[in-house]
Amino acid sequence: MDKLRVGVVGCGGIFTIAHRPAYLKMDDVEIVALCDINREHAERFRPDFPNAAIYTDYRDMFANAPIDSVDICTPNYLHAPIAIAAMEAGKHVFCEKPDATRPEDVLAMKATAEKTGKTLMVMRNNRYVPTSVFAHDYIRSGNAGEIYAAHCGWQRRRGIPGKGGWFTDKEKSGGGPLIDLGVHMIDLALWMMGNPTPVAVSGSTYSKFAGSDLSDSENSRFGEAKADGVYNVEDLAMGFVRMDNGATLTIECSWASNIQKERRFVELYGTKAGLKWDTEELTLFEERDGVLMDSVPNIPGREGVYGHGQNLRHFADVVLYGARPDFVPSQGVNIVKLISALYQSAATGREVLL
């Protein structure tokens, strides 16, 4: 295979702003098919990908388009059925986050990848941000010592995506900011901690802004809002997770909260050093010769890299050239189980053992 022939399913917000520009820069990847239940959404990309066939049913695309892999950018509840159908049709899969909305679905995705031998990777764009790469290397080289506790989250002051549309409908999204935003920062924390397995989860969720007329931010541009739609998800989630190696992770995610400002962060507590990754800026906390030192490493190219393009490039390198995958499906299983357990704990008021 000298070119990867890709079929895209779901031509909405994230395809437009992140996947499309990434593909336009790749010489060894060709978009040969575009699928969206709303034909116009796919048709918009004809100027970019003039040779792409347009489909409105992904099954039809898998059966008839000459594709090697599928890029899934649909609402969350469709990730698992589309990924499974694609792998069963002999295609490799790259899927947007979250991996799936329920543990049984992510387990079925992993089982299908094992059965078919196809590559299954899920978007982990924040791992490819230069400060994340630096922090991961710094920890893996032993500079931070043992990482025994971490705190992570994505807090928005304002920014409920597509209010009333699929994002705020639990059946379709799987939940609110915990599954939408938390999946990014929880993954970053677990990846930097060396991917320990979560074993116990407790948490609380709050839904306070369903009926409000809160002003919104540019973050609400994702999805399509519906004036009389459904809003049955949380807008704040708080959690506490114990890992199999004794480490703990605390989590805080919001779409709307009366806080100072938006913040995406992972703070890691190591025996030799601590790290704070805050909205792509990294600070290290160490002690040298009895002096407490806070340092900001000067990392080339750290501005404006959100990692989506690098993640898609990596997927192509895995499929085309046999690169060692940075992501394996068991990591997705851990994260979906953690998120689902946090929702269960919030509903029952009890810690959930995994």
Ligand X SMILES: NC(=O)c1ccc[n+]([C@@H]2O[C@H](COP(=O)([O-])OP(=O)(O)OC[C@H]3O[C@@H](n4cnc5c(N)ncnc54)[C@H](O)[C@@H]3O)[C@@H](O)[C@H]2O)c1
Residues that bind ligand X (CB under 6 A): 9-14, 35-38, 41, 58, 73-76, 78, 96-97, 123, 125, 180, 222-224
Q: How far is the CB of 78 from ligand X (least distance, A)?
A: 5
Q: How far is the CB of 224 from ligand X (least distance, A)?
A: 6
Q: How far is the CB of 41 from ligand X (least distance, A)?
A: 4
C-alpha to C-alpha distance for 87 and 117, rounded to whole angstroms: 8
Q: Which is nearer to ligand X, 59 or 272 (CB)?
A: 59
Q: How far is the CB of 309 from ligand X (least distance, A)?
A: 11
3-state helix, strand, coil in the chain (%, to 5): 35, 25, 40
Q: Which is nearer to ligand X, 76 or 257 (CB)?
A: 76
Q: Which is nearer to ligand X, 24 or 293 (CB)?
A: 24
Q: Which is nearer to ligand X, 41 or 110 (CB)?
A: 41
Question: What DSSP string describes 134-201?
Answer: HHHHHHHTTTT--EEEEEEEEE-SS--TTTTSGGG-HHHHSSSHIIIIIHHHHHHHHHHTT-PPEEEE
Which residue is at the shortest CB distance from ligand X? 12
153 to each of 7, 173, 185, 216, 250, how far by Cα in Å?
A: 33, 19, 6, 20, 8
Q: How far is the CB of 37 from ligand X (least distance, A)?
A: 4
The 8-class DSSP code of residue 15 comes to: I
Strand partners, 236: 206, 254
Q: How far is the CB of 291 from ligand X (least distance, A)?
A: 39
Q: Which is nearer to ligand X, 83 or 144 (CB)?
A: 83
Residue 248 and residue 149 in contact, taking contact as beta carbons nearer than 8 Å: yes
Q: How far is the CB of 293 from ligand X (least distance, A)?
A: 33
Q: Which is nearer to ligand X, 58 or 209 (CB)?
A: 58
3-state secondary structure of 128: helix
Q: Which is nearer to ligand X, 79 or 136 (CB)?
A: 79
Residue 69: what are its φ and ψ, rounded to 5°? -145, 165
C-alpha to C-alpha distance for 272 and 21, rounded to whole angstroms: 41
Q: How far is the CB of 109 from ligand X (least distance, A)?
A: 14
Q: Edge-to-edge strand order for the sheet containing 92-95?
A: 53-55, 29-35, 4-9, 69-72, 92-95, 120-122
Place of tokens 């690169």: 323
88 to each of 69, 73, 316, how far by Cα in Å?
A: 12, 19, 20
Burial (CB < 10 A; 0-12, 13-18, 19+), residue 82, is buried
Q: Which is nearer to ligand X, 55 or 269 (CB)?
A: 55
